[in-house]
């Protein structure tokens, strides 16, 4: 199990990014959460097997059709054993 914290930059608020991210995470079996940050970015925490988290990171680098992702920072963290995926 791995855990990654992402900060997604670009036009990612007000475009259904968090809800779409949650749908994708649930579809591929990744736990965690997504939330808007005051600076206009979206923060995502993803936990699961390495391949599934890699797939979600790849999805996050593009987002839903109405998003324009211009950058994505990611950091490895110690897994906490999250279950489910929340939109905060």
- Choosing from 3, 4, 18, 55, the catalytic residue is 18
Q: Is 18 a catalytic residue?
A: yes
Q: Is 50 a catalytic residue?
A: no
| Dihedral-angle region of residue 10 (phi above 0 means left; psi in -120 to 50 means alpha; beta otherwise) | left
| Coil vs helix vs strand at 21 | helix
The vertex-59 CA angle with 6 and 51, nearest 5°, equals 85
- Choosing from 4, 5, 27, 36, the catalytic residue is 36
Residues designated catalytic: 18, 36
């Amino acid at each position: 199990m791995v855990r990654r914290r992402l900060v997604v930059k670009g036009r990612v608020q007000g475009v259904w990014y968090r809800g779409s991210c949650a749908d994708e995470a649930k579809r591929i079996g990744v736990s965690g959460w997504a939330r808007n940050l005051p600076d206009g970015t979206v923060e995502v925490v993803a936990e699961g097997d390495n391949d599934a988290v890699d797939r979600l990171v790849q999805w996050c680098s593009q987002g839903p059709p109405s998003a324009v992702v211009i950058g994505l920072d990611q950091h490895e963290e110690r897994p906490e054993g999250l279950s489910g995926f929340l939109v905060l």
